[in-house]
Amino acid sequence: MADINIAPLNDRAAFLEEWEALYAYAADPSFFHTPAWIKSWLDGAPYGAKLKRISVRKEGAPILMGAFSSASRKPPMFGLQEHWFHEFGDAERDAIYAEYVDFLAAPEATHEIRRDAVCAMIEAMGAADGFVFRNLTDEMMSAVFSAAAICELSGRVLNEQPVYGCMLSSGNFMETLSSSLKSKITRAMRLYEERGELTARLAKTDDEKAAAWERLKTLHKAGWEARGRPSVFDNPHLTAFHERLQKTAPAACHLFEVKAGDEVIAVLYNFVHGTQVMNYQSGFKFEDDNRLTPGFVAHALAAQHYQESGFEIYDLLAGEAEYKSRLGEPHAIFTSLVLERPTWRNRLRGLFRR
């Protein structure tokens, strides 16, 4: 019989040691389960964060682990008391936006074990108004909704997002694209080549990576500010998180640069995990000539590069965007949801949502 424990996450070193041991034989863990990601996340916890760990053991050995944080009521009296799975409930810190969210689980961790772990979380936090889960895999979403039914909480879907990916396991990637998209990309490449050789490469040395990271931030900031919106890199918590992650797992964090002559037109920030590459962030040099499409060019060259390197998927991650649906194909859906107790605060919020 499985033993489920909810406890304060006070000893981070011990938690990470146990996490790393379970990760070594976990069933299909994602990049967002890696010890490097979890350590970088925990190291960014706000002062006084109320973190708790969830552990399930069978015959003394861990078979499932997770963590959640208790966010403060805002405003103090009328705000909701919510608990956030693998997040802090702090918008700036949660902007790192983990995907493929699920428990870290051994092969023997069944749907029922996941469900019971969520039930234990709900029961342990008896005064909570709600529990927030974002970007869940189908398996985790099913377990959370099953737990809600048992614990008599209502489940409200916040959003559902398709996940697009470029499948690289067979054929030449560029040849798999539609004729119109292939023409669009090759035309843009020819225009860029008028400025000099079009090259694409990964930053290799520490100095190259540092320079590419700065160029990524500069291009991203310029692109978003031109649209009247802030750059994600204006968020110091997000930037610090990724700098910790790159230091902890340098081989897993790729910076892929595309140049036309001596000019950088794109920088892609990718994560590498097994046979999967995930494009997490990007920066492009946008120009008035709409025939120049640095995003399509950079992603096509990156997919081609990773295909030639033996990877099976270039994952564009969650969210609707033209470049994702044209370059890739949907291969998953992430669901974000909140479980709500019928408290007076939730009833009051419900009236305002009508």
Task: Look up tokens 């109320």; give the residue.
Answer: 50
Percent of the chain as helix, strand, coil, to the nearest 5: 40, 30, 30
Assigned token pair, 207: 């100095």
User: What are phi and psi for residue 92, nearest 5 degrees?
Assistant: -70, -40
Average pLDDT of the residues in 226-234: 94
- Which ranges in the chain are annotated with CATH 3.40.630.30? 2-161+334-353, 169-311
- Reference 63, options 120, 122, 17, 103; nearest CA is 103
Average pLDDT of the residues in 318-347: 89
Return d(Cα 92, Cα 113) in angstroms, integer: 32
Mean pLDDT for all residues in the chain:
94
Evaluate if pTM is beyond 0.75. yes
Of the chain, the percentage scoring pLDDT greater than 70 comes to 94
- pLDDT at residue 344, as a whole number: 47
Given a contact cutoff of 8 angstroms between Cβ atoms, the answer to whether 134 and 351 are in contact is no
3.40.630.30, 3.90.1150.10, 3.50.50.100, 3.60.10.10: CATH of 169-311: 3.40.630.30
Angle between helices 35-42 and 236-248 (to 10 degrees): 140
Confidence of residue 167 (pLDDT cuts 50, 70, 90): very high
User: What are phi and psi for residue 276, nearest 5 degrees?
Assistant: -110, 135
pLDDT tens figures, 20-39: 999 999 999 999 999 999 99
Assigned token pair, 7: 């406890």
Dihedral of CA atoms 166, 169, 174, 178 in degrees, nearest 10, equals -60
Given a contact cutoff of 8 angstroms between Cβ atoms, the answer to whether 295 and 180 are in contact is no
Confidence of residue 127 (pLDDT cuts 50, 70, 90): confident
Give the type of residue at 181: L
Confidence of residue 306 (pLDDT cuts 50, 70, 90): very high
Return d(Cα 272, Cα 279) in angstroms, integer: 9
Average pLDDT of the residues in 299-322: 97
Sequential DSSP letters for 178-208: -HHHHHHHHHHHHHHHTTS-EEEEE--SHHH
- pLDDT at residue 341, as a whole number: 86
Return d(Cα 191, Cα 139) in angstroms, integer: 46
Residue 6 has pLDDT above 80, yes or no: yes
- pLDDT at residue 291, as a whole number: 97
2.40.50.140, 3.40.630.30, 3.40.1580.10, 3.40.50.720: CATH of 2-161+334-353: 3.40.630.30
Angle between helices 35-42 and 12-23 (to 10 degrees): 160
Radius of gyration of the chain (CA): 22
Determine which helix (DSSP H) or strand (DSSP E) holds 318, and give its type and residue range: strand 313-318
User: What are phi and psi for residue 70, nearest 5 degrees?
Assistant: -100, 115
Please list the alpha-helical segments (H only) found in 194-263: 206-226, 236-248
Residue 158 has pLDDT above 60, yes or no: yes
User: What are phi and psi for residue 27, nearest 5 degrees?
Assistant: -85, 105
Average pLDDT of the residues in 116-130: 94
- Reference 32, options 237, 252, 209; nearest CA is 252
Return d(Cα 84, Cα 82) in angstroms, integer: 7
Return d(Cα 101, Cα 29) in angstroms, integer: 10
pLDDT tens figures, 55-77: 999 999 999 999 999 976 566 55
- pLDDT at residue 66, as a whole number: 99
Residue 78 has pLDDT above 70, yes or no: no
